[in-house]
Structure 1
Amino acid sequence: MRNELIAKRYIKPLMESCDQASLENLSTLFSAVAKAYENEKFNLIMNSNDVSSSAKCQLILDMVASANSTVVNNLIKLLAENGRLSLIPAMSEQLNREIGRAKRTFTGRIYSNNTVDQASVDTIARDLGTKMGATISLSYVASDFDGIRVEVDDLNVEINFSKSRLNAQLVEHILKAI
């Protein structure tokens, strides 16, 4: 959570100073660098006390050299000066979220203990997107939830339909009718 807050501080000026096309290029670039952090050997280098900060900075600069951007280079150098190169994955995720917000494109998850086929997932995403005035893509996640729960974090949306809650409401309704 702390990394997300710090990442927001670095992303905010980028959002204010760059146009949409530049932001999408930055997103692609940061996503590629963030992917490197998934590699164990890369993490060993980045977390090693034996490797100097300037060498770590140069490694990242070499990775983003194809962008030929002084903004990106200065940002990487600033992160290195402050010992925050490890924030790049969080910054990538935050930048993708901000671009999604600007385009009204969001991602979410469907949790259920029953398998939900892709056609149903797509239908739920389309209908929810229409209701919310956004484009939503959902992915199915197997869980032990007795029913279906849909979550779209960036929209602060959670919808759930629980079998146990339905049964309790049905019993309550029948008891009221008697």
Structure 2
Amino acid sequence: MQYELIAKRYTKPLIDMCDQNALENLSELLNGVAESFKNEKFIQIMNSNNVKSEAKTALVLDMVAPAKSEVVNNLVKLLAENGRLPLIPALACELKREIARSKRMYQGRIYSNNVIDQASVDSIARDLGNKVGATIALEFVPAQYDGIRVEVDELNIEINFSKSRLNAQLVEHILKAI
């Protein structure tokens, strides 16, 4: 998405100027504001040409006021000046991703048409994490996949075990042996 590329440009300076604790607090705050962008009325206000930019800025500044942070206030003002307040959800996501990357903690998914118990999911996550030297949390997602597929997007990992592919390889191996 176009917002993700722009969000990266805002995230880098934040990472450079804030320590880890401040980044985590900022990420939590931005995630709270990003939740507002799931509300249809809030989106209408932000996209409305009838609502002045100053009012939109004041609304978001009120949302982040409890943080009492000059960095956050300046970030909101900068986004507002450039007409990029709708960028906040992408910025929150990118900041969360960068914090996870710095801690070497990643999220992934396991797809299968068979139910996989949580103990197996945790075991796969632990073993995969040991292989790549990171902490990986996997979530089971029911899907119409004949086998198991594990994906960890941030690490560009995709592992597939398909019954049909295994059968095809087995037949191929038997035919070669004959």
TM-score, normalising length from structure 1?
A: 0.98
- For residue 119 of structure 1, report the CA deviation from its aligned partner: 1.4
- For residue 53 of structure 1, report the CA deviation from its aligned partner: 0.7
Equivalent-residue separation in structure 2 for 1:116 and 1:44 (angstroms): 41
- Equivalent pairs counted in the alignment come to 178
For residue 63 of structure 2, what is the amino acid of its counterpart? M
Identity of aligned residues (%): 70
Equivalent-residue separation in structure 2 for 1:118 and 1:128 (angstroms): 15
Equivalent-residue separation in structure 2 for 1:61 and 1:91 (angstroms): 16
Do structure 1's residue 18 and structure 2's residue 18 form an aligned pair? yes
Equivalent-residue separation in structure 1 for 2:54 and 2:113 (angstroms): 49
Equivalent-residue separation in structure 2 for 1:61 and 1:177 (angstroms): 71
2:58 is aligned to: 58
2:170 is aligned to: 170
- For residue 141 of structure 1, report the CA deviation from its aligned partner: 1.1
2:83 is aligned to: 83
Equivalent-residue separation in structure 2 for 1:89 and 1:116 (angstroms): 32
1:160 is aligned to: 160
Equivalent-residue separation in structure 2 for 1:49 and 1:118 (angstroms): 48
Runs of 4+ with >3 A deviation: none
- For residue 115 of structure 1, report the CA deviation from its aligned partner: 1.4
The CA deviation string for residues 103-142 of structure 1, in whole angstroms up to 9 with x for no partner, is 0000011111111121111111111111111110011111
Equivalent-residue separation in structure 2 for 1:18 and 1:98 (angstroms): 13
What pairs with 1:100-139 in structure 2 (closer than 5 Å)? 100-139=100-139
TM-score, normalising length from structure 2?
A: 0.98
Q: For structure 1, which runs of at least 5 residues remain unmatched after alignment?
A: none
- Superposed CA RMSD: 0.7
Equivalent-residue separation in structure 2 for 1:127 and 1:156 (angstroms): 17
